Structure 1
Amino acid sequence: PKMKEDSCLHAALICLGMLCYSHALSTEKLNHLRPSLHGHHEKGKEGQVLHRSKRGWVWNQFFVIEEYTGPDPVLVGRLHSDIDSGDGNIKYILSGEGAGIIFVIDDKSGNIHATKTLDREERAQYTLTAQAVDRNTNRPLEPPSEFIVKVQDINDNPPEFLHENYHANVPERSNVGTSVIQVTASDADDPTYGNSAKLVYSILEGQPYFSVEAQTGIIRTALPNMDREAKEEYHVVIQAKDMGGHMGGLSGTTKVTITLTDVNDNPPKFPQSVYQMSISEASIPGEEVGRLKAKDPDIGENGLVTYSIIDGDGVEMFEITTDYETQEGVVKLKKLLDFETKKSYSLKVEAANVHIDPKFISNGPFKDTVTVKVAVEDADEPPIFLAPNYILEVQENAAAGAVVGRVHAKDPDAANSAIRYSIDRHTDLERYFSINPEDGYIKTIKTLDREEIAWHNISVFATEVHNRHQEAKVPVAIKVLDVNDNAPKFASTYEAFICENTQSNQPFITITADDKDDAANGPRFIFSLPPEIIHNPNFTLRDNRDNTVSILVRRGGFSRQKQDLYLLPIVISDGGVPPMSSTNTLTIRVCGCDSNGSLLSCNAEAYILNAGLSTGALIAILACIVILLVIVVLFVTLKRQKKEPLIVFEEEDVRENIITYDDEGGGEEDTEAFDIATLQNPDGINGFIPRKDIKPEYQYMPRPGLRPAPNSVDVDDFINTRIQEADNDPTAPPYDSIQIYGYEGRGSVAGSLSSLESATTDSDLDYDYLQNWGPRFKKLADLYGSKDTFDDDS
């Protein structure tokens, strides 16, 4: 109610002022237009008379208050013309923005009223046009006049902040007055009229830590050395009030959450002054001993801590690393421990920040130290060999039981348990060695051969007697020492070639040797010829003194016809103790060569220098071979000449070879039961009978006097014609035998009863002529005088 009273009073004062202003303006316009009202004339250029139109409009009011809620329409203003005598003949018309809807006019008096409540924030002014016309004729009495109606603002909108909630950060320990954030509010009222939009900021919550500037809304720190570790987050409420902050103004608020960000203002601190740790002497380097942690209330990179060992008698035995996930210092073993040597160690550990803020260095060092005591615990340790590995030697060919060497281990514990030794048989599968379990002496079980295996690598276990789980393992390498037990030999198989016209004292091949023994037993090879052929007239040796020998021709003029192969024995000796030697044979072939010395041909007749064959023996062997070949040729020839008779002369033989079958024949391969050659014409004996087993080299053409037999029902004529052709053509297969008949006679229902139509190359006979069976074979038998007969089935 108080606000509404103030608004009404304010509106009344505005209306009074507007009335005075409107009256003064109307009077001024009337004075300005007065000459035209009385019809005065003015001369223009060149004597032209100008007439000024008479204007006599009066505006009593230009403003209307927004948010008016009275019972009657509010009077906005009045239109009046000087020519209006008050008799009602003038009609006032209003047009433009809102005319007839928001603004209405009394066409007689010219009073304009607002019929609706107006909102300046929605629309600040309206442009209207007024006109005076004759009521009877609607003739314009005055030109149209445009005027503006402004909506007068009142304080009806409270301030509003851009955000309902603000979030801001400020470093801890900031100086007083450090800017945190600026908040901004806006007021929808008219900022150009009165104080409706004049805002003032104030802090409602958040004292005494923060303050706000009244005009700008900037929030600043109000207390020094605010500590994040004490309180990290603050909630501040800011108010914005219009009317310059005076009573009656409207206001709005917003919340600001301010977080103190961390700075490195705290050094790390150990919660205790001494840490106790322990570790077994059996631990290996890298094992963790224990952990310690220095607390730093700072966060992020300001709270990162690094650890280091700066002093103590365990600096060489231990090390410390930083676990950055847990911010702990991890103490680890660096070297092997020995309880019997030293039972405890002391370390001085320092914790320091990784990142240091220079502003707070004056507060003191950002580090802390602590003492760490490490106790070494006794453990049952495995045996320890006196050497990390052993290299032993033994002579090859040594008898079984020869001593190779000794390994030795001891128990490092105070109990000093007895040790037992054994060989890892996975490293000695052939069981070449044995070991004495009491003293560790290694011996051979069998004879060793250096040329077979020069090094033996085995492993030996040492185990405590009282605790079989405590054992150690050591590698043992056994070298087999060489003994000169291998004679040198040719490095490869050598074969030499010499020309028949070779010159004397010329080397034609160089020989090298190889010895399986060590170089100490054969530093240089000695080459020589056996004593029995040392003075042979053909070849000689020349030792090159570099473990090679050159073979020389002692004479010239070799002949392949006399001897084309020489076997030269060469003795090779080494320089070992005792020396070893062997005899190796070099094969030398005599070859024919051209004038340039290039090989043309070589024979393979062997000739042993110290035991050759005589020429007579070679001729005798050759004669035996020739006789044997003649016998073989004669045997083959006689075998070929033996053959079957081409014609069977005896009649009983023919009958015996014609057999009656009561079943299906065996097909084209069945040639044993019936010899078709018996059907040959006996009359052919006196004439020319070609060989049955040899095919003629050329074919005879049929004699011109013979004509082919027609396909006639007269079987006799057909057969006689074929017989006559066969008698006169000795080349027709099967050479003077019954010919092929392609004629199918009458009365043969079964046709061909076997696979005689198929051809084969396994026999000299052609079976195609057996196609027609039955009556035709019977006719043929009668023709050739056979006493046996054929039935249709046969």
Structure 2
Amino acid sequence: MAHTVSRSFGIWRGLRIVTLLSLVRWESGCWGMTLNSVALHPASSRLHRAEAGAVPHRHKRNWVWNQFFVLEEYTGDEPLYVGKLHSDVDKGEGRVKYVLNGEGATSIFTIDENTGDIHATKRLDREEQAYYTLRAQARDRATNLPVEPESEFVIKVQDINDNEPKFPDGPYQAYVPEMSPVGIVRTALPNMDREARDQYLLVIQAKDMGGQMGGLSGTTSVTVTLTDVNDNPPRFSRKSYQFAVPESLPVASVVAKIKALDSDVGANAEMEYRIIEGDGLGVFRVEPDADTQEGVITLQKNLDYETKSTYTLKIEASNRNIDPRFRAQGPFSDTAMVKLVVENVDEPPVFSSPLSRMTVSEAAKVGTTIGTVSALDPDSTNSPIRYSIDRNTDLERFFNIDAATGIISTAKALDREVNAVHNITILAIESLDPSQVGKGIALITVMDVNDNAPVFAIEYETFVCEAAEPGQVIETISAVDKDEPPSGHRFFFSLTAEAAGNLNFTLRDNKDNTASVLTKRGGFQRRDQAMYRLPVLIVDSGSPALSSTNTLSIRVCDCDSDGSPQACGTEAFLLSAGLSTGALVAILACILTLMVLVLLIVTVRKRKKEPLILDEDRDVRENIVRYDDEGGGEEDTEAFDMVALRNLNVARDSKARRDVTPEVPTLYCSRPPPYKITPDNGIFRDFIWDRLKNADVDPSAPPYDSLQTYAFEGSGSVAESLSSLESLSTDSEQSYDYLSDWGPRFKKLADLYGHSDSSNIFSS
């Protein structure tokens, strides 16, 4: 607190000194010159001057003030005292108040309106703002009117040493070529080697105040990196290498990799490899790998263990970029010997020719020899070879091959027109090792023979106009032949012997594989004959020559003036009856529509499995099987199945299955049957009804219509035999009158299900 008071006192004393100097300058003739425009004139002074006239008088200054100074970075708890403002008008009676405006007023600087004391309420930083310009004014407390004019003053922030030196661009990077001599860059050691140490870290300190006590300091780092120069040659880690190479390795495969080491980096470590000596110059080659700088040895020719089993290469590795400053140190290259040992591999048989071309006539008989293929085992074992045909390439088995000799022969008749070329794969299999299989191709071309007769090229639609003149060309015909003779086709056209003497048409061979059909007369009438058929004989030039007779249909038409047909053949008669072409089309459309509807109805009924003929008794379904064996007594029940005899008119017991609701409620009502049930068939009737009742109440039966088996033995067999065939013997006294009632029904069912002989329905 004592420090603050003494500091403020020093500032006040300074102000008094500056004020006295200003007054001296004013008295020496500097009229109107005042310090910072703060000299104020009271009203009494102005009146006195007016009364005295224009004679100037010296006026006392009313403000006691000066520039204020305040130290930056004040860290005390109380506001920092800056200085004091005072006006002579203020007599200490409390009638004057002081007001402060300008930069930082109220936010940074405050003034006691009673005493004029100025304080700083915030810590100041000269590096941010060095001074503040403010305005002060004294006002009457009662009227708030100024008693002094407003004046400006400055508060300057005094600097203290609170900022250490800083390196604006740090940390720094520096690059120095290795082996640099002292002078280019100031280094502490001569001949620094990057391969020994490639980077150095330096820490630099800067102090202010000339390094005196109390000064601040700042540091930065400088990383010095030694850049590489090509001062190291490549070196192989070994002088000789050996690798094994399978003889089956394909061309362009990688055989081995070797690498020379270079302590340099980047472009200075890039390598070049080459074979300078050895017996594998044309078989192998070596190239550098751009990423790993390895020497990659690749195969250029196929290997054969039986021919040569070892190769020796002398390979040189050298730097691609050599620094001339270090060339005198010696050669920047190194060499190593590489031995390549060829390994024997069990190889499959090899055909003497991978593609064998053969020809065979399509008329060749089965068993005709076509050609021979040959393959050998390339290994030293020289295993015997067996031949076979890959049947995936000869699915129809047209050819056979002798397993021992490789002779290929025909196994079926050939047809060039179906398949002119057969491309089959021949397999050569080692007898000692069947897993070794070689493959060859046999391309068999089938030679053509003249086995196809010529025919019309197209299906001609020929017509002749009723108004045609004799000798008029009505059609030009041509022919085709499936055969392909070497010299091309030559066809000859003529009418057959039967048609040569007709009076209607004739044929002219144009000698260019075409022929013209001409009329021999005029006056054709479609009413008399609507269609003519002209047999044409076509002969080819093969050996032997083949021929065929082709019939040309010629319609008689009513033509317009340009010769275009208007009405032809039978259509003329319909037109003459008054039916137009549109009417004919409509009739045909109706017929087609009816046919489609009938087809749809039939298709739907087939899908629903409904008979086309509806019958009121269609609910009665049976499966009747006829057989002529003796039977096996009780085993007869397994011999056939009979669908439950079911008719809506037959009385049933009202007791039904509990798990099924009858679709027709009246199905089980008791009512007399509409047909006569004689006492003779009572046993059969009871038997059927009992079986139906059991099926209806069976809880294990499915809830839908099902087939039931009924094996009725009957009673009263004279022969006392269990066979159902014996029960139908004519010698039995058993009555079968019940068949008189059931017979017509079974006949109807038999007709419905396609049984032609209904008399044998109960032959079993």
TM-score, length basis structure 2: 0.54
The alpha-carbon distance between structure 1 residues 362 and 95, as it changes in their structure 2 partners (threshold 3 A), is farther
The alpha-carbon distance between structure 1 residues 590 and 304, as it changes in their structure 2 partners (threshold 3 A), is same
**SS at 1:485 equivalent:** coil
Q: Does residue 510 of the first structure (1) align with residue 476 of the second (2)?
A: yes
Q: Does residue 331 of the first structure (1) align with residue 297 of the second (2)?
A: yes
**SS at 1:511 equivalent:** strand
Cα deviation, residue 288, structure 1:
2.3
1:53-107 deviation digits (Å, cap 9, x = unpaired): 4789999999999999xxxxxxx9999xxxxxxxxxxxxx999999xx9999xx9
Contact in 1 for aligned 2:452/2:546 (Cα 8 Å): yes
1:600-679 paired onto structure 2 within 5 Å: 600-603=566-569
Aligned pair count? 531
Contact in 1 for aligned 2:200/2:224 (Cα 8 Å): yes
Cα deviation, residue 314, structure 1:
3.6
Q: Determine which of 277, 294, 314 is the counterpart of 2:243.
A: 277
**SS at 1:341 equivalent:** coil
1:133-282 paired onto structure 2 within 5 Å: 159-162=164-167, 166-173=171-178, 221-223=187-189, 226-245=192-211, 248=213, 250-260=215-225, 262-265=227-230, 266=232, 268-282=234-248
The amino acid across from 2:219 in the alignment is: T
1:277-296 paired onto structure 2 within 5 Å: 277-296=243-262
The alpha-carbon distance between structure 1 residues 51 and 515, as it changes in their structure 2 partners (threshold 3 A), is same
| C-alpha separation in 2, matches of 1:575 and 1:48 | 156
The amino acid across from 1:472 in the alignment is: G
1:744-790 deviation digits (Å, cap 9, x = unpaired): xxxxxxxxxxxxxxxxxxxxxxxxxxxxxxxxxxxxxxxxxxxxxxx
| C-alpha separation in 2, matches of 1:405 and 1:508 | 54
| C-alpha separation in 1, matches of 2:167 and 2:555 | 117
1:301-700 paired onto structure 2 within 5 Å: 303=269, 305=271, 313-320=279-286, 322-347=288-313, 349=315, 351=317, 370-520=336-486, 523-560=489-526, 563-593=529-559, 596-603=562-569
| C-alpha separation in 2, matches of 1:279 and 1:292 | 15
| C-alpha separation in 1, matches of 2:521 and 2:99 | 152
| C-alpha separation in 1, matches of 2:24 and 2:562 | 152
| C-alpha separation in 1, matches of 2:226 and 2:361 | 83
Contact in 2 for aligned 1:497/1:591 (Cα 8 Å): yes
The amino acid across from 1:328 in the alignment is: E
**SS at 2:173 equivalent:** strand
Contact in 2 for aligned 1:174/1:224 (Cα 8 Å): yes
Cα deviation, residue 488, structure 1:
1.6
Cα deviation, residue 569, structure 1:
2.2
| C-alpha separation in 2, matches of 1:561 and 1:27 | 156
Contact in 2 for aligned 1:176/1:222 (Cα 8 Å): no
Q: Percent identity?
A: 47
Q: Which residue of 1 aligns with 2:755?
A: none
1:345-370 deviation digits (Å, cap 9, x = unpaired): 34455556677889988988876555
The alpha-carbon distance between structure 1 residues 363 and 549, as it changes in their structure 2 partners (threshold 3 A), is farther
Q: Which residue of 1 aligns with 2:699?
A: none
Cα deviation, residue 23, structure 1:
13
The amino acid across from 2:178 in the alignment is: R
| C-alpha separation in 2, matches of 1:555 and 1:331 | 92
**SS at 1:484 equivalent:** coil
**SS at 1:161 equivalent:** coil
| C-alpha separation in 1, matches of 2:464 and 2:68 | 145
Cα deviation, residue 558, structure 1:
4.0
Contact in 1 for aligned 2:199/2:226 (Cα 8 Å): no
**SS at 2:171 equivalent:** strand
Cα deviation, residue 304, structure 1:
5.0
1:20-71 deviation digits (Å, cap 9, x = unpaired): x9999999889878989xxxxxxxxx99543334789999999999999xxx
| C-alpha separation in 1, matches of 2:275 and 2:372 | 45
The alpha-carbon distance between structure 1 residues 332 and 52, as it changes in their structure 2 partners (threshold 3 A), is same
The alpha-carbon distance between structure 1 residues 508 and 309, as it changes in their structure 2 partners (threshold 3 A), is farther
Contact in 2 for aligned 1:167/1:257 (Cα 8 Å): yes
Contact in 1 for aligned 2:478/2:514 (Cα 8 Å): yes
Contact in 1 for aligned 2:67/2:153 (Cα 8 Å): no
Q: Determine which of 58, 66, 77 is the counterpart of 1:52.
A: 58
The alpha-carbon distance between structure 1 residues 55 and 336, as it changes in their structure 2 partners (threshold 3 A), is same
1:289-313 deviation digits (Å, cap 9, x = unpaired): 1112233334456555565667755
The amino acid across from 2:368 in the alignment is: A
| C-alpha separation in 2, matches of 1:522 and 1:368 | 74
TM-score, length basis structure 1: 0.52
Contact in 2 for aligned 1:390/1:477 (Cα 8 Å): yes
| C-alpha separation in 1, matches of 2:155 and 2:71 | 11
| C-alpha separation in 1, matches of 2:133 and 2:417 | 126
The amino acid across from 1:166 in the alignment is: P
Larger Rg: 1
Contact in 1 for aligned 2:389/2:424 (Cα 8 Å): yes
The alpha-carbon distance between structure 1 residues 502 and 171, as it changes in their structure 2 partners (threshold 3 A), is same
Q: Which residue of 1 aligns with 2:639?
A: none
| C-alpha separation in 2, matches of 1:391 and 1:494 | 42
- Alpha-carbon RMSD across the aligned residues, in angstroms, is 6.1
**SS at 2:486 equivalent:** helix
**SS at 1:426 equivalent:** helix
Contact in 2 for aligned 1:541/1:551 (Cα 8 Å): yes
| C-alpha separation in 2, matches of 1:119 and 1:408 | 108
**SS at 1:236 equivalent:** strand
Contact in 2 for aligned 1:457/1:477 (Cα 8 Å): yes
| C-alpha separation in 1, matches of 2:524 and 2:477 | 22
1:3-22 paired onto structure 2 within 5 Å: none
Contact in 1 for aligned 2:349/2:377 (Cα 8 Å): yes
1:716-739 deviation digits (Å, cap 9, x = unpaired): xxxxxxxxxxxxxxxxxxxxxxxx
Contact in 2 for aligned 1:522/1:576 (Cα 8 Å): no
The amino acid across from 1:170 in the alignment is: Y
The alpha-carbon distance between structure 1 residues 310 and 58, as it changes in their structure 2 partners (threshold 3 A), is same
| C-alpha separation in 2, matches of 1:121 and 1:31 | 34
Cα deviation, residue 517, structure 1:
1.7
Contact in 1 for aligned 2:67/2:154 (Cα 8 Å): no
| C-alpha separation in 1, matches of 2:15 and 2:560 | 149
Cα deviation, residue 602, structure 1:
4.0
Contact in 2 for aligned 1:287/1:332 (Cα 8 Å): yes
1:243-302 deviation digits (Å, cap 9, x = unpaired): 324x54635252515141643535544333443323111111243211122333344565
Contact in 1 for aligned 2:496/2:536 (Cα 8 Å): yes
| C-alpha separation in 2, matches of 1:173 and 1:227 | 6
**SS at 1:519 equivalent:** coil
